Every structure is written in structure tokens, then in C-alpha cells.
Structure 1
Amino acid sequence: MKKYPIAIWMLAIGAFAIGMTEFVIMGLLPNIARDFHVSVSQAGQLITGYALGVAIGGPILVMLTIKLNRKYLLILLMIIFMIGNIAASLSPTYGFMMTSRIITSLAHGSFFGIGSILAASMVQPAYRASAMALMFMGLSLSNILGVPFGTLIGQNFGWSMTFVIIAIIGGLALIGIIIFVPNRKETHKSSVMNELKILKEKQLWLTLAITLFGFSSVFAYFTYISSILVDVSHIKENLISYMLIIFGIGVTLGNVIGGKLADWNLNKALKIIFTTFIIYFVLLYFIQMNGILMVGGIFLFGVIGFSMSPSLQFKSTLISQDAPTLASTLNQSAFNLGNALGAFVGGLVVTNLPLASLSLVAPLLTLIGLVFLLVSIYIDKRNKTVYN
């Protein structure tokens, strides 16, 4: 067995396409608002609709398709993804566009939930978290390459063309999945009842809380990163895109480091990452005051913040190894709800407190996640459950 089969790279292409469709709309909101004759804030609801579709629709879709072979389900999800993006490109009205975005979002949580399980199954046990991290690297690269490219296309050829290109990338992923992803017989028979049993597990809800709060601090700060770079770091507005590329490189490196740490020792890795992130936020309060220091500061923010992603996803798959699909997909819901929570908390801070203080408030969310993690570890020890 190769360390990282080509099939995992095909899943990474799918992750790239999904990440691109989720985030590219942020740069196209003024164009979409103008064409549909709505305000930018109304157009922004397309982001909210997508996030809710991921959080709610993903687990429901998993339950409805639980009998399907995982490879066939991935194929179905990429077809849904392509249909949603093509429909978005053809949207004549705002309502049609919202419906298209929700359809597209249904593929998101399920794809990452099932894809991460498949990626882990294709490598030796010692490399499972790293295999998940490799798949999630596609999501990271979408922010570095896909979003700037998609925004550029949308601004020069119309936002509809952006969604056509995303659908094409999804088509490439679909072909790669059909050809390269192995069609293995399921080791355990999946059923709705088997999957729903996991909802009784305290450790599932603890893990979802760890993900929701632990990761939400990333978006509490990152949602307002442009304002911070301009108003706090005093970086010129035309340099923001370059700073975001540096951040994206940090995100990609963080995924790799996080995967290797999780392969080493999952719970210790999360404790180290959470503690380091909380301390770093305090340092970031001072770093962000200097534009030159902030070049390295935003890079390290991406590295540390996103190093937790593979560990959090890997932890969810270990909760119920007999029926991990729902747990893994629910963890994606927790990620997206965490994004929304972080943006909400960040909004409260920037409305009522100085913008610079966001780096001191945001880590409180990760601190809550750390408390849930310590409770989870205590229960593991009490039950004599050991995760690597």
C-alpha cells in the first residue's frame, strides 16, 4: 500500500472545489447584489444559507443515503455539487440563487465526513490523521489559489463564469473519484439505527463542543482580518490580498503539521495546539500593532489555527469506529457552526470594543474548547479508552 494513494489526491481536488465555492462568494457579493438588485447585506445571506445547509443538511443527507456504498455516495455528492454550481451560474433571481447555494451546501459536510473516513482507510494506521490532513489541504489551497482566481474571473467575466469553472473542477474530481477511489466492501454494515446510536454517546457531544468552541476563535479573528490589517497594523489596502496569501500558506502548512501531530498522539496534540493558540493570541495583540511583524504574525496564525483541523476531524471518527459516518459529518456541522459563532462574537467585540482587543477576546472561545477537551480526556482515562 502506497503511503498516500492517488485517490486521496482526487479527494483533495474535490475539497478544493468545495472550499472554492464556499469562500469565493465573499469577494463577489457586490457584483451579485448589483445584478439581483439587493443590498450587499442581503447578498451576504447567501453565505449564511450555505453554512446552515452544511450544518443541517449534511447529517440528514448522510442518514438518507446510509445504505449506499461510500464510493457511490461520494460520486452522488459531487454530482449534487456540480448541479448546484451550474444552477447558481444560471440563477435568474436572488431566490433561485439561494436555493442553488443550499443544494450545493448539501455536498459539503457529507463529502468531508465520508471522504476523510475513506482517506484514512487507504493508508496504514500510523498515517491516518495525515491522510485526512492531505485531503483537507485541498480546502486550504482553495483559499490560496481558488478564491483569488475565482474572484478575478468573476470580476472580469461575470460571477456566473466563476461558478461554471467551479463546476468544471468538481467534474475533474468526479472523474478522479470514479477512476481511482477503490470500491471496497464495507467492513461493517451501516444502518440508520447503528449510526443514530452514536447520539447517545457523551463523547460525541464533547467532541462536537471541542470542535465548535476550539475552532470558532479562528473565525472570530479572521472574519475581521482586513479591518485589523488596515486599521490596527496600518498595512495599505492594496497589500491585503498578499497578506491573505501568506495566511493561506500558513493554513496549508498547519494542516500538514496538525496531521503529523495527531498521528503521534491525538489528545496531546490537541492540548498542545489549543494551549499554544491561546498564548499566541495574547502575543498577537502586540504583534498586530506593527505591520512588518504582522507579516509573520498572520502566517503563524494560519499555521497554529488550522493545525487543529485534522486532529478534530480524526477525533470524531474514533468516537464510533463501527459507524463513524454520522459522527464525522456532524463534526463538519460543528466546524461551520463554530465559524458562525466566531463571526458573531467577533462582531460583538468590534461593535463595542476597540478592534485591537479582538485578539484578547477570541481566545476565550478556544479556552472553552480546551475545558471540554480536558473533560473528554478525563472520561477517556476513567473508561480506560485510549486514542493513540
Structure 2
Amino acid sequence: MTNDLATAPLRTRAPGTRPRRAGIASLSALALGAFAVGTTEVVIAGLLPEVATDFGVSLPTAGLLVSGYAVGMVVGAPLLTVLGARLPRKHLLLWLVALFTAAGLLSALAPGYEVLLAGRVLSALAGGAYVGTAAVVAAGLVAPERRASAIATVFMGLSLANVLGVPGGTALGQALGWRAAFWGVTAIGAVLLAAIAALVPPIPRERGVGFRQELAVFRRGRVWLALAATAFGWAPYLTVLTYITPLLTEVTGFDDRTVPLMLVLIGIGMVVGTPLAGRLADRALLPTLYGALAGITVVSAFLILAVQSKPAAIVGFLLFGLVGAAVIPPSQTRVLEAARGADNLASAANVSAFNIGNAGGPLLAGAALSAGRGYTSSLWIAAALGATGLTLALATTALHRRTHRHRTSAATRR
């Protein structure tokens, strides 16, 4: 498929390939944007208690700041498909970064909870479209045979956000107040706007399959099953991270200062898990997908017991980062295979599916907390969501094989 590389997150670089020298600065600028988007999405999870106290809302209500961002990403990703066909890529990037920066400023200055929620949604709307657009631009900066390394460079920004941006922003917010984290993101956005304007060259728009032709591919049932498997399979990640602070402090007994360190640990697991899953998926896609979904289910269940012990919790959350990241490459590839012939729209739809999982999981966990369930209820919900994702992935394969057998049988009769 022509766009597989442009949609594969955090792939490892092929041996002997690297971006052209002229594109390194541009790719770095694009990666900075991915870093900002990734940091903004998750950093609020570690600051929810402070936000809830400041605005006088419940913790589940504050948790909507995570779900609201995910909903914005769901809308923003398809926006890539629509706007990307009409605007020059660089111009679109600049508008998206400007909106992202303005939304960060609105969040930092928010006088009330509702304004902060609006800022989060606007930031996500821009961020969802930015990530996809940046991937397309990166692919155009290098020779066709080097697209994988260019895309890997850009998406490394998301990986570094989990290792550096999220824990750093959480620590900053805990030390200086939660608004400081958004001031930091706003500053990065301002730098990013200047960097893209100066370093990213104009990229001609590529002509491909029409939007209506791509839309027709979504009549296939297996495409929707694959997207559903992505949503449910990824949902455990943010379900757990949204309420990781009360889990660690109220259940495990860690100090507040431990939360950023645990987020770093999860990020390290992601850095290891993503390229490992990418290599395994290249060799055996379906076993890797099933293994990753089974892994996040089992580890989520393990954490129910592990959070009762500090040493076990450290091991559990490291494994959680690893298996959580391992879900991304095979899920992304599986959707593109199921939607063969609709690469662009499938890419946008799969980003939306990831973020539907990001929104739905925390909503379910918040409802459980509101109903009086304990903080470990988020772990039970995460395990159930992972198991559902695995079931849907198996169903996708079964439907694909049945359709293939019917077509083969029909061709033989002719």
C-alpha cells in the first residue's frame, strides 16, 4: 500500500536508510509538533486532582478533560482527509499549529472548568489533524525509498512525549500549579510555529484515489470490525493512565512525587514495545496483534493485584507501557490491510478509532468511580476492554477468511 509507511507509528528505521541531509531540520521541526501533541494529550492525567480541587469539581468530572481531548482527536483526524485535499500541506500545518498554540494559551488562562474543557477540545482538534498531516509532509521531504525513516523520525516525537514531555509536564504542574504545564505547551507551540515556517518547504499535493472511491471501501464489514478492535484494544491504555495518580497514591501508597517517575517508566516501556512490535508484525502480523491484545488484557488484570505492592506496581506499570505500545503497529497495519484501496481515509479512521478508545475507556472508569467503585475499577474495565479488542480482532480475521473462501468458490464455479 502506498501510504502504509505514512501511517505506521514509531516504526524502526530500515538498515542503511536515513533522511536526506536537507530534510533533517524539517523532520525535527515536525517531530517537535508530535512531541507537543503527545505531551498535551496525556499530561493532564497526572494533574487531575489539582484541577479538580482548583475548580471545585469531582475527580470523574475532571477526568472529562482527558476524554474531551480524545473526542477532539476523533474529529481532528478525519479533518486531515478533508482539509488536506484542499490546502497546501505547509499552509495547513501552520494553521493547525496556530490553533493548537491558541488552544494551549486558552487552557493556561482558563477562568473556569468549562473554558479549560473547551481549550482541550480545540487543542485536540488541531493535534489530531497535525499528526496525520505531518506524516504526509515528512514522506514528501525524502526519496520514496526513505519514507520509513522519515516517518519514524516524526513519530519519535510521540515516543519522547511519553518519556520526557508527560512526566516533565506533570512534575512542572505539581511544583508550580497545573497551569504551568499548559504554559509550557504554549511556549513549545510558538517555537513550533516559527520552526515550521522557516524549515519546512512547500510540498506539492499528491493525487490519489478520490474521496468517494475510498469511502466505498468502508462498505466492507471487516473494515469496521478492524476499527472496533483498534478502539477496544487501545482503550485500556488511557483508562489506566487517567486515574494513575489516585491508584498510586491512594491504593499503592506512593508519594505524589512518584507519579512522574512512574510515567517515565511507562514511557520507557513504550519506547521498547513499539519498535519491537513493529519488527514482529513485519514477520507475523496476526500473531503479533493477538499477542499484543492478549498482553494488555493480562497485564491490566495483573495490575489489580500488583497495585497493592510497591515493587509489583513498578514491574506492572513497566510491562503495561510495553504491551500498550505493542498494540499500535499491528492494529494500524491490520486496518490498512482490511481497507485496502482506501489508505488515506483508513489512516484517518484508525486515528479516530484510537481516540474513541481514549475517550470511551476513561468515561467508563469515571462512571464506575461515580457509582462508588474503588480506584481499581479502572483496571477491571481496562482488562475487559482489552479482551473485547482481542475478540474483535479474531472476528475480523474469521470474516476475512470466510469472504475469501466465498470469492474463491465463486471464481471456481465460473
TM-score normalised by length of structure 1: 0.80
**Correspondence for 1:368:** 388
C-alpha deviations, 1:289-323, integer Å up to 9, x for none?
A: 43213222211111111111233234444455654
Deviation, structure 1 residue 362: 2.8
Tell me the distance in 1 between the aligned counterparts of 2:174 and 2:329.
33
The residue number in structure 2 matching 1:294 is: 313
Q: In the alignment, what sits opposite 1:113?
A: 132
Please report how far the alpha carbon of residue 142 of structure 1 lies from its aligned counterpart in structure 2 after TM superposition: 1.9
Q: Please say if residues 133 and 258 of structure 1, whose CA atoms lie closer than 8 Å, have aligned partners that are also in contact.
A: no
Q: For 1:216-257, what per-residue CA distance to the aligned partner results, in whole angstroms no more than 9, with x for missing partners?
A: 122333333333334544444443332222122112222222
Name the residue aligned to 1:145.
164
Structure 1 equivalent of residue 232 of structure 2: 213
**Structure 1: gaps spanning 5 or more residues:** none
Residue identity matched to 2:32: I
Please give the residue correspondences for 1:143-222 in structure 2 after superposition, counting only pairs within 5 Å.
143-154=162-173, 160-178=179-197, 183-189=202-208, 191-222=210-241
Offset, 1:74: 2.9
Q: What corresponds to 1:2 in structure 2?
A: 17
Whether contact under 8 Å (2:38, 2:161) holds in the other structure is yes
Who is 2:332 aligned against?
Answer: 313
Matched, 1:254 2:269: no
One-letter amino acid of the structure 2 residue matched with residue 368 of structure 1: T
Question: Does residue 344 of the first structure (1) align with residue 360 of the second (2)?
Answer: no
Return the letter of the residue paired with 1:342: G
Deviation string for 1:259-305 (max 9, x for gaps)? 32333333332122122333444444444443213222211111111
Seen in structure 2, the aligned counterparts of structure 1 residues 238 and 27 have a Cα distance that, compared at 3 Å, is closer
C-alpha distance in structure 2 between counterparts of 1:165 and 1:281, whole Å? 32
Of the three residues 14, 27, 30, the one matched with 1:11 is 30
Q: 1:175 to 1:323 in 2, by over 3 A?
A: farther
C-alpha separation in 1, matches of 2:335 and 2:386: 18
Cα distance in structure 2, aligned partners of 1:96 and 1:362: 29
Contact persistence 2:274–2:328 (CA under 8 A): yes
Give the whole-Å Cα distance in 2 for the aligned partners of 1:25 and 1:102.
13
**For residues 68 and 315 of structure 1, do their structure 2 counterparts lie closer, same or farther at Cα, with a shift above 3 Å needed?**
farther
Change in Cα spacing, 1:263 to 1:322, as seen in structure 2 (3 Å) is same
Instruction: Deviation per CA, 1:66-94: give whole Å up to 9, x if none.
Output: 22344443333222212322343444555
- Structure 2 length-normalised TM: 0.76
Q: Is the 8 A contact 1:277 1:363 kept in 2?
A: yes
Letter of the 1:3 counterpart: R
Q: Choose 24-33 or 299-308, whichever is displaced more.
A: 24-33
State the match for 2:248 in structure 1: 229
Alpha-carbon distance in 2 for matches of 1:330, 1:108:
15
Does the aligned pair in 2 maintain the 1:112–1:332 contact within 8 Å? no
Q: Structure 1 segments of 4 or more deviating over 6 A?
A: 123-127
Q: Which amino acid aligns with 1:2?
A: T
2:5 maps to none
What 5-or-longer segments of structure 2 have no aligned partner? 1-15, 406-414
Q: Bigger CA drift: 13-22 or 82-91? A: 82-91
**Is contact 2:254-2:310 (8 Å) kept?**
yes
Amino acid at match of 1:39: V
Match of 1:239 among 228, 238, 258: 258
CA distance in 2 between partners of 1:361 and 1:86 (Å)? 34
Question: How far does residue 203 in structure 1 lie from its aligned partner after superposition?
Answer: 3.3
Distance in 2 separating the partners of 1:125 and 1:263: 17
Secondary structure in 1 matching 2:18 = coil
Separation in structure 1 between the aligned mates of residue 327 and residue 360 of structure 2, nearest angstrom: 17
Q: Which moved more, 1:325-334 or 1:160-169?
A: 160-169
AA partner of residue 360 (structure 2): L
How many residues end up aligned between the 2 structures?
383
Q: Is the 8 A contact 1:132 1:310 kept in 2?
A: no
SS at match of 2:327: helix
Q: 1:39 aligns with which of 44, 47, 57?
A: 57
Structure 2 CA distance for partners of 1:360 and 1:120, relative to 1, 3 Å = farther
Point out the more displaced range, 333-342 or 84-93.
84-93
Q: Which amino acid aligns with 1:332?
A: V
Q: How does 1:61-72 map to 2 (within 5 A)?
A: 62-72=81-91
Residue 327, structure 1, aligned to residue 331, structure 2 = no
User: Which range moved further: 155-164 or 74-83?
Assistant: 155-164
- Amino acid of the residue matched to residue 364 of structure 1? A
Measure the CA separation in 2 of the matches of 1:86 and 1:229: 30
Give the superposed CA RMSD: 3.7
Q: Does structure 2 conserve the Cα–Cα contact (< 8 Å) formed by 1:112 and 1:329?
A: no
Residue 18 of structure 1 and its aligned partner are, at CA, apart by 0.9
**Contact conserved, 2:94 with 2:196, CA < 8 A, in 1?**
yes
CA–CA separation in structure 1 for the residues paired with 2:171 and 2:374: 33
